[in-house]
A and B are shown apart, each in its own frame.
Chain A
């Protein structure tokens, strides 16, 4: 095929500008890659979730209660809007896992005998279904089995309602209720110490004295049902049966986590590509503007020879489109690869029967569309200039650069600068918009670097506040039901226990005006030393003798302010409705909590110092002996280990943040390098004559390089504080967006992060500076002097 001359010019111009074309293509690639990565990752997650929820009949509404007879099921099914009801027995138990010294926590769920559950069906990964005639058979969740190397045929110990039993594993299973398998109130999954187990109703019911009764109910709703209405009716029905309050998928822990992940992905998938493609458009703008001014005469000749304006303008638009298309192709490839990596990380956290990485054409189409838009935006002004240029005028060379004393000059700021410094300052102030945009581009790179580190900073703070400041116990023990305060002496007598602090936890619904939330009301010691209430600044909040302390986020959700009186509808025992004045808000990072001094809570509940559990400080040497005892204590429902939780938290973090951090750091390096390279390259081409003159006047290679790169250094110096500011702003944006019920992201940007962002930006700048210096060495002095620019 014969190429038309204009096409040939296009190819040659692209080759001539290859350095800048590559820089633009890389920035576009990063933007497109972020679009493709985040979109395909979350689309895969959304489609796997939709498929799983539908095929395994994930319920819409959940409720836990003390005990209700099976006949109540029919009454629940009659509630308008309810499509299906499943009742079952659920129990939290302590597990003795081979190879694990401390006790693990297990959640036992009953499955109907010999039938599939109507809701929340399990997917069998291995082994066989339960045999209802065998009382000791269990299915265990896949994550728990894998973490503890459990196989079909293995046995684990469990304390069922006070009796120690040996349970045989007959199958490995998954459930839509536990895609994200996490112990309630935990932040990250700890599959080694928390697992879900399924037993037949015939075995589990009698074990917990729930023969012919249930303590948990799930509902599916018809599409047009009013969920709030259904929840209110369920609550009324269950009130007499010790109902703990029904809730929808929005409060179901696993569903909530996935929903939050998708929301977070949407934010990242919008903010990051916008930054990258904006930078790409800007780079295109300066490269094309420069090209059009150096090719004025060529444009004039083309027009003079009768090429229509449109054809010539299209030629320059095509140049932009080609650079962007290269980047888009690269970005799609990169994005698909990174998407599969993210999918791999997801697989570790989210357990689906089928979780394929299936990138849709839509994500690719969006990426292409958005990048084409960036190309068009970037090319716009250059193309308009091509259209406007009258042939006769264009034949004349561009008028010389005009410099005047600007406001900086008049303010006398340059007087102290040496001459090269003045040149730098004047060159920047002569094109303030371009300099400003360059500074903005570099600042965005710095901001992204800050963002990348902010996640680590925030999580580190969260972990410090939670695991070092608030939680100071070694072991936390919770009981199945409240015990008398004498339990404290029994705990103190256990091997290795150095000190203990009991607490009272009461499930309740907190109500203020028309807002309400399900919470656990905690009664703590007046002067706690093992478990304190700590705000995000790391300072402990003291408990008032009267009145309640609320987590700030809960107060916000309920629109409560200090001094307001809230109602606590207790969801156990006599179910009294207590009124309490809120005295203090604690800006806690985890959970939604209500705290009272334990004596005040006892007074309100009219009880004599019942305890729900205790925090223990333990002599490490005796911890194995203590764990052995705790595993078999009938009263103990769960045992938490602070150091183990901290370790799993940090390990999870390293895996999860590693990938994302790597991507962000690499991408922001690309922006920083591309910005510096391009602006130094343009400066070099615009001022090669000037630089050659300086060389002729006796300035050394090094001095001239310093003058050229000094300008870029100046831009970087201006960009750093701006980048810090934008980075902090983006971090705040994310911290605000990540204010969830389960945890809040603290807005912490450490000096180390600022230093790190600056260092990476400077390194990227030095790298591209080296490329330009190489070009400067090749400057032809004689030829540059001869030409009239």
Chain B
């Protein structure tokens, strides 16, 4: 019981603590409110799906958590570091040491091979895994020396995931990782994400507007118009292969 309680506390350790986050943009002469007072905790080791239509503020939230953007109001903490008022340099170091990103359009460097795209990150990270191992993890051990233009979309996204997990980040932030892929390819990518989450214990947040993906998460956070409208805890995570859309 004591051990179980300890495990429970360990699992429930909050990696991120966001309180009263709001973000307003000025686009031309229009003021757009992208986030309106969001409170959220992300716990170590969990896989979270942020679900919402476009314009719901999920990308803004992810960008703030990932240190790409700062909130207009509210506070955000990562472990014991306050990111709210961090400067450019601290945010860069934060991204470098703790965060892995996966984007809808992969954002690979076209002039580098798969292995080199991963090495690009492992070279600047402290406790990374060898690029070959990371690419093995995503099932691309035989495509190491291919350039992005020689890979399919799904393969490119898996390279992007390998690149993100290779440095053993504390958190993996994925913005519509399957948005540009067909269903079957998308499921392979999600499988890789799920495996990375389970085998490496990396906290993972996946943004999507595809409700079908929600089943693979520990928790599903629904958003609309810059606010969280509900949080659903899945007792049982569905294997990505069994998802259907």
Query: With A697-B95, A698-B96, A701-B88 given, is the CB distance from A788 to B68 under 8 Å?
Result: no
B105 touches A695 (CB 8 A): no
Chain B interface size, under 10 / 10 to 19 / 20 to 34 / 35 or more: 35 or more
Kindly report which residue of chain A lies nearest to residue B99, judged by CB atoms.
Answer: A698
Task: Name the distance in Å between A778's Cβ and chain B's nearest Cβ.
Answer: 12
Q: Which residues of B contact A699 (CB under 8 A)?
A: 92, 96, 124
A697 touches B123 (CB 8 A): no
Complex Cα spacing A403 to B151, Å: 12
B119 touches A419 (CB 8 A): yes
Identify B92's interface contact among A400, A430, A698, CB under 8 A: A698
Query: With A785-B107, A788-B105 given, is the CB distance from A403 to B99 under 8 Å?
Result: no
Complex Cα spacing A430 to B111, Å: 9
Complex Cα spacing A418 to B149, Å: 21
Q: Which of A404, A427, A699 has the most CB of B within 10 A?
A: A699
Query: With A426-B111, A690-B109 given, is the CB distance from A700 to B92 under 8 Å?
Result: yes
B158 at interface, CB cutoff 8 A: no
B51-73 interface (Cβ within 8 A of A): 63, 66, 68-69
Kindly report which residue of chain B lies nearest to residue A427, judged by CB atoms.
Answer: B111
B88-119 interface (Cβ within 8 A of A): 88-89, 92-93, 95-97, 99, 101, 103, 105, 107-112, 116, 119
The A interface, classified by DSSP as helix, strand, loop or mixed, is helix
A782 at interface, CB cutoff 8 A: yes
Task: Name the distance in Å between B109's Cβ and chain A's nearest Cβ.
Answer: 6
A693 touches B92 (CB 8 A): no
Task: Name the distance in Å between A781's Cβ and chain B's nearest Cβ.
Answer: 5
A472 at interface, CB cutoff 8 A: no
Kindly report which residue of chain B lies nearest to residue A784, judged by CB atoms.
Answer: B107
Q: Which residues of B contact A403 (CB under 8 A)?
A: 110-112, 147-149
Query: With A419-B112, A426-B111 given, is the CB distance from A781 to B68 under 8 Å?
Result: yes
Interface membership of chain A positions 372-408, coded 1 if the CB is closer than 8 angstroms to chain B and 0 otherwise: 0000000000000000000000000000111111000
A718 at interface, CB cutoff 8 A: no
Task: Name the distance in Å between A509's Cβ and chain B's nearest Cβ.
Answer: 72
B101 touches A404 (CB 8 A): no
A714-731 interface (Cβ within 8 A of B): none
Complex Cα spacing A427 to B111, Å: 7
Complex Cα spacing A477 to B97, Å: 85
Kindly report which residue of chain A lies nearest to residue B109, judged by CB atoms.
Answer: A690
Complex Cα spacing A372 to B4, Å: 82
A422 at interface, CB cutoff 8 A: yes
B219 at interface, CB cutoff 8 A: no
Query: With A423-B109, A423-B111 given, is the CB distance from A695 to B116 under 8 Å?
Result: no
A285 at interface, CB cutoff 8 A: no
Task: Name the distance in Å between B214's Cβ and chain A's nearest Cβ.
Answer: 23
A504 at interface, CB cutoff 8 A: no
A696 at interface, CB cutoff 8 A: yes
Task: Name the distance in Å between A573's Cβ and chain B's nearest Cβ.
Answer: 83
A78-124 interface (Cβ within 8 A of B): none
A155 at interface, CB cutoff 8 A: no
Task: Name the distance in Å between A450's Cβ and chain B's nearest Cβ.
Answer: 34
A782 touches B92 (CB 8 A): no
Query: With A403-B147, A419-B116, A788-B105 given, is the CB distance from A696 to B68 under 8 Å?
Result: yes
Q: Which of A402, A427, A697, A703 has the most CB of B within 10 A?
A: A697
A389-445 interface (Cβ within 8 A of B): 400-405, 418-420, 422-423, 426-427, 430
Interface membership of chain B positions 118-159, coded 1 if the CB is closer than 8 angstroms to chain A and 0 otherwise: 011101110000000000000000000101111000000000
Task: Name the distance in Å between A413's Cβ and chain B's nearest Cβ.
Answer: 15
A696 touches B101 (CB 8 A): yes
Query: With A697-B95, A697-B101, A698-B96 given, is the CB distance from A400 to B110 under 8 Å?
Result: yes
Task: Name the distance in Å between A689's Cβ and chain B's nearest Cβ.
Answer: 7
Q: Which residues of A contact B111 (CB under 8 A)?
A: 401, 403, 422-423, 426-427, 430
A689 touches B88 (CB 8 A): no
B187 at interface, CB cutoff 8 A: no
Complex Cα spacing A436 to B119, Å: 29
B222 at interface, CB cutoff 8 A: no
B121 touches A697 (CB 8 A): yes
Complex Cα spacing A400 to B153, Å: 12
Q: Which residues of A contact B105 (CB under 8 A)?
A: 785, 788
B163 at interface, CB cutoff 8 A: yes
Complex Cα spacing A692 to B101, Å: 12
Query: With A400-B149, A401-B149, A782-B63 given, is the CB distance from A698 to B97 under 8 Å?
Result: yes
Count, A-B residue pairs, CB within 8 A: 86
Identify B89's interface contact among A404, A689, A700, CB under 8 A: A700
Kindly report which residue of chain B lies nearest to residue A697, judged by CB atoms.
Answer: B121
Complex Cα spacing A697 to B148, Å: 17
A694 at interface, CB cutoff 8 A: yes
A422 touches B163 (CB 8 A): no
Task: Name the distance in Å between A244's Cβ and chain B's nearest Cβ.
Answer: 75
Q: Which of B66, B96, B109 has the most CB of A within 10 A?
A: B109
Kindly report which residue of chain B lies nearest to residue A429, judged by CB atoms.
Answer: B111
Q: Which residues of B contact A405 (CB under 8 A)?
A: 145, 147
Task: Name the distance in Å between A636's Cβ and chain B's nearest Cβ.
Answer: 79
Identify A419's interface contact among B68, B101, B120, B149, CB under 8 A: B120
Query: With A403-B149, A696-B101 given, is the CB distance from A701 to B110 under 8 Å?
Result: no
Complex Cα spacing A211 to B77, Å: 113
Complex Cα spacing A403 to B145, Å: 12
Kindly report which residue of chain A lies nearest to residue B97, judged by CB atoms.
Answer: A698
Task: Name the distance in Å between B24's Cβ and chain A's nearest Cβ.
Answer: 15
Q: Which residues of A contact B145 (CB under 8 A)?
A: 405
Kindly report which residue of chain A lies nearest to residue B100, judged by CB atoms.
Answer: A697
Identify A785's interface contact among B88, B99, B103, CB under 8 A: B103
A675-720 interface (Cβ within 8 A of B): 689-690, 692-701, 703
Complex Cα spacing A403 to B101, Å: 24
Q: Which residues of A contact B89 (CB under 8 A)?
A: 700
Identify A782's interface contact among B69, B120, B123, CB under 8 A: B69
Identify B149's interface contact among A402, A690, A698, A785, CB under 8 A: A402
Kindly report which residue of chain A lies nearest to residue B169, judged by CB atoms.
Answer: A698
Q: Which of B92, B108, B112 has the most CB of A within 10 A?
A: B92
A422 touches B63 (CB 8 A): no
Identify A690's interface contact among B93, B110, B147, CB under 8 A: B110
Complex Cα spacing A291 to B69, Å: 30
Q: Which residues of A contact B95 (CB under 8 A)?
A: 696-698
Identify A693's interface contact among B93, B109, B119, B124, CB under 8 A: B109
Task: Name the distance in Å between A401's Cβ and chain B's nearest Cβ.
Answer: 4
Complex Cα spacing A419 to B112, Å: 8
Q: Which residues of A contact B68 (CB under 8 A)?
A: 696, 781-782
Kindly report which residue of chain A lies nearest to residue B94, judged by CB atoms.
Answer: A698
A689 touches B149 (CB 8 A): no
Complex Cα spacing A630 to B89, Å: 81
Interface membership of chain A positions 728-754, coded 1 if the CB is closer than 8 angstroms to chain B and 0 otherwise: 000000000000000000000000000
12 A-B pairs with CB atoms under 8 Å apart are: A403-B147, A404-B150, A405-B147, A418-B123, A693-B103, A697-B120, A697-B163, A698-B93, A698-B99, A698-B124, A701-B88, A785-B107
Given contacts A403-B112, A419-B120, A701-B88, 6 further A-B contacts (CB under 8 A): A400-B148, A402-B110, A427-B111, A690-B107, A699-B96, A699-B124
Across the A-B interface, give the 4 residue pairs with the lowest CB-CB distance, nearest first.
A698-B96, A426-B111, A693-B107, A698-B95
